[in-house]
Amino acid sequence: MRVLVTGGAGFIGSHVADRLTADGHDVLLLDALLPQAHAGAPPAWVQGHELVHGDVRDAELLGRLLPGMDAVCHQAAMVGHGVDPGDAPDYVAHNDLGTAVLLTAMHNAGVHRLVLAGSMVVYGEGRYDCPEHGVVRPGPRAQEDLDAGRYEPTCPLCGRELVPGLVPEDAPLDPRSTYAATKVAQEHLAGAWARQTAGSVWSLRYHNVYGPRMPRDTPYAGVASLFRSALERGEAPRVLEDGRQRRDFVHVTDVAAMNVAALSTEPPGPGVNAVNVCSGEPHTVGELAAALAAAMDGPPPVIAGGARPGDVRHVVADPAKAAAVLGVRAATTFAEGVTRFARDPMRAPAGSSAGA
């Protein structure tokens, strides 16, 4: 199978490319090498792949690259929480316009198989149960509650504290950040394309991906990268809220394996077929900071309180659907992955001259 991997020089994209190549597939990487994540030159770990430096919004370029492709693995995106609402035009341009241009080019080239890098941020908060009212959807947390250290969502009907559970793939979508809104839009665009063209789409809703090649020293990086960057500076990781917010930290090699499985598996239905990509081993953000600090012999984390606008409290998921429809489960445990991550190579800071 010949596969175009957009964002192929990036954190997840490069691991997907490695796994595809190891499994005998032919890959072509396309990457804009955005300065938010890259130091300029392509990183050393993509030197063994064919790489085109270009923008996924360049329809003419895509028209040259897509003919002869069997599938597209669309990893290219502007990711992370960002800096402030001024980032919105860039998020929409890279994520939504870029996806629309790609889908049009795929249609023109007769390429009908897409695997999309989705995200758990499309859910907003995860699943919650009220002891009295059952499954409910909490609204955004009030600033006065966050300022007072009341972090747990409450029932919109009775005000009682809710019990977090596992969010299923059919949960309502409730994006609460600019990035999240663009990821929902990507799924809708891909779904419309699939219905119009009889194409197939998997949206792999990544939970908190970590591992080697993460970008460091950038506000667009994931929390694991931010903690490691602090520890490398000799600083204590700074944990927001009370550190008890729950996430599912999934290793990037497991994410790559699930991408390859999706590329080789016919979806069970039309439109977008969404799958949670998670480890099934949820941990708190505080646990991640403490484990990484211990692995790096650094200072213990500082619980800072507060919360960023749009932050959610708990998002964890069940890996059962991915195992059932893709035949893949995460193989890297939290303890093993964090220990390795403490020493893994990272992507050079944005703006530096290093190539890896």
Position 24 pLDDT exceeds 70: yes
- Check: CB of residue 225 under 8 Å from CB of residue 216: yes
80-89, 142-151, 265-274: least confident range: 80-89
Between CA 124 and CA 121 the distance in angstroms is 6
Between CA 113 and CA 102 the distance in angstroms is 12
Taking all residues of the chain, what is their mean pLDDT, rounded to a whole number?
93
- Check: CB of residue 288 under 8 Å from CB of residue 240: no
Helix (H) or strand (E) holding 5: strand 2-6
- In this prediction, residue 39 carries a pLDDT of 65
Confidence class for position 60, pLDDT limits 50, 70, 90: very high
The catalytic residues are 179
Query: Which candidate, 270, 77, 316, places its Cα nearest to that of 180?
Result: 77
Query: Which candidate, 252, 323, 334, 250, places its Cα nearest to that of 288?
Result: 334
pLDDT tens column, 213-252: 998 877 677 899 999 999 999 999 999 999 999 999 999 9
Tell me the average pLDDT across 47-64: 97
Tell me the average pLDDT across 26-50: 86
Confidence class for position 356, pLDDT limits 50, 70, 90: very low
- In this prediction, residue 34 carries a pLDDT of 81
- Check: CB of residue 277 under 8 Å from CB of residue 207: yes
- Tell me the helix, strand and coil percentages in the chain, rounded to 5: 35, 20, 45
- In this prediction, residue 349 carries a pLDDT of 59
Residue 300 burial (10 A CB sphere; 0-12, 13-18, 19+): exposed
Distance from the Cα of residue 89 to its chain's centroid: 20
Name the amino acid, one letter, at 135. V
Helices (H), the chain: 11-22, 59-65, 88-91, 98-109, 143-147, 178-197, 223-232, 252-263, 285-295, 320-326, 334-341
Confidence class for position 35, pLDDT limits 50, 70, 90: confident
Position 169 pLDDT exceeds 80: yes
28-32, 79-83, 267-271, 324-328: least confident range: 79-83
Position 307 pLDDT exceeds 90: no
The DSSP annotation for 89-135 comes to: HHHIIIIIIHHHHHHHHHHHHT--EEEEEEEGGGGSS--EEETTTEE
pLDDT tens column, 71-126: 999 999 998 776 678 889 999 999 999 999 999 999 999 999 999 999 999 999 99
pTM of the full structure = 0.94
Tell me the average pLDDT across 143-167: 94
Confidence class for position 270, pLDDT limits 50, 70, 90: confident
Return the biggest CA–CA distance within the chain. 58
Confidence class for position 350, pLDDT limits 50, 70, 90: low
